[in-house]
A and B are shown apart, each in its own frame.
Chain A
Amino acid sequence: MLASILTIVLIVGGTVLLSWPLGRYMAALFSGRFKGADRLFAAATGGTGEQDWKQYSFALIAFNVMMFGFVFLLLATQHLLPLNPDGQGASSLDLVFNTAASFTTNTNLQHYSGESTWSYLAQLGGLMWLQFVSAATGIAALAALARGIGGQASMGNFFLDVQRASFCVLLPLAMLLASGIALAGVPMTLEGAAAVTTLEGATQTIARGPAAAFVAIKQLGTNGGGFFGPNSTHPLENPTFWSNALEMIAIILIPMACVWMFGRIIGRPKHAAVIFGVMAALLAIKLTAAVTFETAPTQAFADLAVTQDVGNLEGKELRLGATTGPLWAVLTTATSNGSVGAMHDSLNPLTGLVPMAGMWLNETFGGVGVGMINMFLYIALAVFVAGMMVGRTPEYLGHRIEGREMRLVVLALIAHPLLILGGTALFAATPWGLDTLGNTGAHGFSEILYEFSSAAANNGSGFEGLGDNAPAWNIATGLVMLIGRFLPIIVPLAIAGALMSKRRSAENAGTLSVEGPTFGVMLFIVILIFGALTFFPAAALGPIAEHTALMR
């Protein structure tokens, strides 16, 4: 228990400390304080004039369409292209569609195993490139939103913001992290697989490749797509406790910094502290629950001659320490990362509920940039509910929140459960889902529920027992990822655009302060009620039913 607490304090506490200076730096960067760099970026792309919300959104969509198209072509033709030492063949087009959608949307849901599917060119030039620019897209969108509701005249420029995020935030951090995990033992080579003869004389072929560079940006950009199939449970992707610590810090570092960045751009750091506190409280609850549930030994070994003095070890790695499974599971789903440090399908049933809850709420720090954007929707909802309770026109930072804005907020918030529950219902009732299950009964239902939650939340982790490389899964989750990505980015920009066009009122003694604990509690309650009411019935059919029926 002591080791668990020490590990959590090291990882989470350490990252909180690091996130503050990073957030300050990012706020300065996106406020145009590095003029030399900005001139260089303007020269590189051109078209860097000020944009309103529509122009910013069109630029974002245009570039994202190009990201998707380029990587679709690259993946579809990889068998004809160089840098393919292990001779990977052509993939099915539905898998290519799903993978291109998955990495464009910062999801990194993987219906394949990297070491047996993609060439090094596809991994580096296609998937790793998207891991940079999709993360940069999210950070850029947050900067634009903050400028809009912070009272600036324009939303900035998308092409400039993507370069700021890619070159001044993601790239230097990725260089540091890649060097760190390479020193810990993650391979970085363009050589193909190694053939060895084992001590007993058998032949073993060991996949390797340029993993260190890939894994670093996978963790930092809340991407989560592993170089190897089993992600960061693979010893070459995560060889030691210390590579594991670095990779876990990288999961939440930028999402945390985004909250501070938001607060500084809108000029209200105290408001950011309240938001950070609410997110941290949610994280603490999930961590406590997951770590506690996972100390129960494996039910499957209960009647056998097996020592049951350690927690559930199925799907876990010894070198990463006992806490890694639940801790990583919470961090990766609190943010929209989706990498794994243990197999989520093999977690105890109630532990498995915690990552699902993380994806349902999707704003406990959340994805880089987009987590804070999701939180903005909940803030608008909380402000509205509070305004109704006291009978005043709801205001947020002097912006009057009216019917038009609330309709947009509700549209974005309702889309998330609709995609998850609608998709789950469809696949749980048809052979599309039923024929692909890796486990039966309530746990099988959980596999379907998890997959749609992961796609809609742009998370990318999975209950991997599911046979998800099938056309129905590839197409359905591909579409869910695209809607779940772009709707919650464009709609908040539209809301900010609507707020910008109205006159701001001065805050007075009657205005609900967004900088105090009252607002924090209000926000916390709104999130829990919305999340619990929406998803509790599905949770009861899946993990809760499995726990009550089968765990002793």
Chain B
Amino acid sequence: MQYLLPSLRLWLVTFLVCVIGYTALVLGFAQAVVPFQANGSIIVADGRAVGSQLIAQDFTGPRYFWPRPSAVDYNGMGAGGSNKSPTSPGLTERAEQTVARYGATADNPIPADLVAASGGGLDPHISLAGALYQAGRVATARGLPAAEVKRLIEAKAISAAGSFAPERIINVLELNLALDQLAQ
């Protein structure tokens, strides 16, 4: 019994400080300084919310660039990966479907990131090679010169962290929004 009362009081002070106080401070800071990010980086275009800058959404038509495959069908309420081992036949079968969808051949192999699903199934990026691989399809579907689509890709490609992660990547939603704006 000598431990019960101090335990209760310890519960009370830690709850007040580490849950209520801490949450309120971080909430106040984030909402005041970075309200866009704090609310989920939701992009509004033409007055409607079209997606989150950080969350992949499904694109199926040829007019848009396609994101990486998602093991959860781009479900923003139930993210997850395939959890398939590299030796799993199921992973090979899924990859065959993706290869067929892009029409990749041995002479024109598809970049690996367009075939591999991400950990959360919501990776908003594709590689520069993955975007260039799709440029022809998008240009044809939109009746645009291929060079113009490639220029747009180059303009949108960033490296995640300079020398630490030099590979260039592209945010698919931002690229597709820019394509739509090009058309207007």
Contact = CB atoms under 8 A, between A and B. Distances in A.
Contacts of A245: 161, 164
A308 B126 CA distance: 16
B42 A62 contact: no
A229 B122 CA distance: 12
A301 B115 contact: yes
Contact of B55 (A206, A241, A317): A206
B30 A182 contact: yes
Contacts of A349: 85-87
B161 A242 contact: yes
A307 B3 contact: no
Contacts of B167: 318, 321-322
Nearest to B27: A188
Given A175-B22, A439-B84, A235 B54 contact: yes
B34 to A, nearest CB: 6
Nearest to B93: A300
Contacts of B92: 300-301, 303-304
B118 A298 contact: no
A153 interface: no
Given A166-B18, A304-B95, A304-B99, A345 B79 contact: no
Contacts of A170: 18
B119 A233 contact: yes
Contact of B109 (A58, A217, A305, A443): A305
B123 A47 contact: no
A489 B91 CA distance: 42
Contact of B118 (A167, A204, A233): A233
Nearest to B94: A300
Interface stretch (B8-16, B139-147, B148-156): B8-16
Contacts of A306: 95, 99, 104, 109-112, 115
Interface stretch (A128-136, A270-278, A471-479): A128-136
Interface in A275-334: 297-301, 303-310, 312-322
Contacts of B129: 307
A5 to B, nearest CB: 10
A176 to B, nearest CB: 11
Contact of B40 (A47, A63, A206): A206
B138 interface: no
B86 A348 contact: yes
Given A125-B19, A159-B10, A188-B27, A443 B111 contact: no
Given A132-B18, A305-B99, A312-B86, A193 B23 contact: no
A241 B49 contact: no
A63 B14 CA distance: 12
A128 B23 CA distance: 10
B164 A235 contact: no
A3 B176 CA distance: 30
B173 to A, nearest CB: 8
A308 B77 contact: no
A3 B116 contact: no
Interface stretch (A17-25, A207-215, A375-383, A416-424): A207-215
Nearest to B171: A319
Nearest to B78: A116
B49 A230 contact: no
Contact of A178 (B6, B26, B116): B26
B10 A63 contact: yes
Given A115-B79, A235-B124, A185 B88 contact: no
A541 interface: no
Interface string B48-73: 11111011111111001000100000
Nearest to B160: A241
A129 B121 contact: no
A496 B26 CA distance: 40
A331 to B, nearest CB: 16
Contact of A193 (B77, B119, B160, B163): B77
Nearest to B37: A185
A550 B86 CA distance: 9
A170 B8 CA distance: 20
Given A314-B116, A321-B164, A194 B86 contact: no
Contacts of B85: 345-346, 349, 439, 443, 465, 546
Contact of B30 (A45, A70, A206, A212): A212
B135 interface: no
B111 A307 contact: yes
Interface string A1-13: 0110011001000
Contact of B123 (A48, A187, A235, A303): A235
A6 B163 contact: yes
B65 to A, nearest CB: 11
A346 B84 contact: yes
A228 interface: yes
Contacts of B22: 171, 174-175, 178, 213
A465 to B, nearest CB: 3
A58 B6 CA distance: 12
A373 B80 CA distance: 35
A204 B70 CA distance: 14
23 contacts: A3-B166, A44-B10, A58-B3, A63-B11, A66-B7, A159-B9, A179-B26, A182-B33, A185-B37, A188-B30, A189-B38, A194-B39, A198-B59, A206-B40, A206-B77, A233-B118, A234-B79, A239-B37, A241-B164, A300-B86, A315-B81, A320-B160, A465-B84
Would you list the 9 A-B pairs with minimal beta carbon distance, nearest first? A233-B119, A321-B165, A465-B83, A47-B6, A188-B30, A206-B76, A62-B3, A241-B161, A313-B116
